[in-house]
């Protein structure tokens, strides 16, 4: 089946909406960004890594990523229960693009700030 995100009813728009979310971008980057190698991360590790994310938002994000097949959730019956997350093959295929967006934002933030100041000075 062919998809065209320019069409209003195309389901690929929902996927674009999902992966454009900042928490999705950061979760996907974090699952491989720690030491350059992919590895499972426990929920608590992700929560610490993603400064400012609420428990509710992290849980919702991880569930959505699992539903879309980008992340797998593994539960180990320990006391307390250990839950970890890692990228699937599909998640890995998206990772380089996501990491590139994150890197672009970090690299060009000063330029964007400068343009915002110039724009706001003209509009005010």
**6-27 pLDDT, tens per residue?**
999 999 999 999 999 999 999 9
pLDDT tens column, 71-111:
999 998 988 889 999 999 999 999 888 888 888 999 999 99
Long-range CB pairs of 120-123, under 8 A, 24+ apart, other chains included? none
What residues contact 34, with CB distance under 8 A and at least 6 apart? 41, 49
Peptide bond connecting 20 to the previous residue in cis, omega within 30 degrees of 0:
no
Rounded Cα distance between 6 and 23, Å, is 24
- What fold is seen in the domain 12-123? Arc Repressor Mutant, subunit A (1.10.10)
Rounded Cα distance between 111 and 98, Å, is 20
pLDDT tens column, 50-64:
999 999 999 999 999
The answer on pLDDT for 124 being more than 80 is no
Domain ranges of the chain: 12-123
Q: What is the pLDDT of residue 33?
A: 58
Radius of gyration for the chain, computed over Cα atoms and rounded to the nearest angstrom:
17
pTM above 0.75, yes or no: yes
């Amino acid at each position: 089946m062919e998809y065209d995100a320019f069409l209003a009813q195309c389901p690929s728009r929902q996927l674009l909406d999902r992966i454009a979310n900042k928490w999705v971008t950061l979760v996907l980057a974090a699952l491989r960004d720690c030491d350059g190698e992919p590895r499972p991360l426990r929920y608590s590790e992700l929560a610490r890594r993603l400064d400012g994310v609420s428990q509710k938002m992290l849980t919702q994000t991880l569930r959505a990523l699992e539903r879309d097949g980008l992340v797998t959730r593994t539960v180990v019956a320990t006391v307390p229960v250990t839950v970890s997350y890692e990228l699937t093959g599909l998640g890995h295929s998206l990772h380089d693009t996501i990491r590139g967006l994150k890197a672009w934002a970090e690299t060009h933030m000063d330029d964007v700030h400068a343009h915002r100041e110039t724009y706001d000075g003209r509009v005010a």
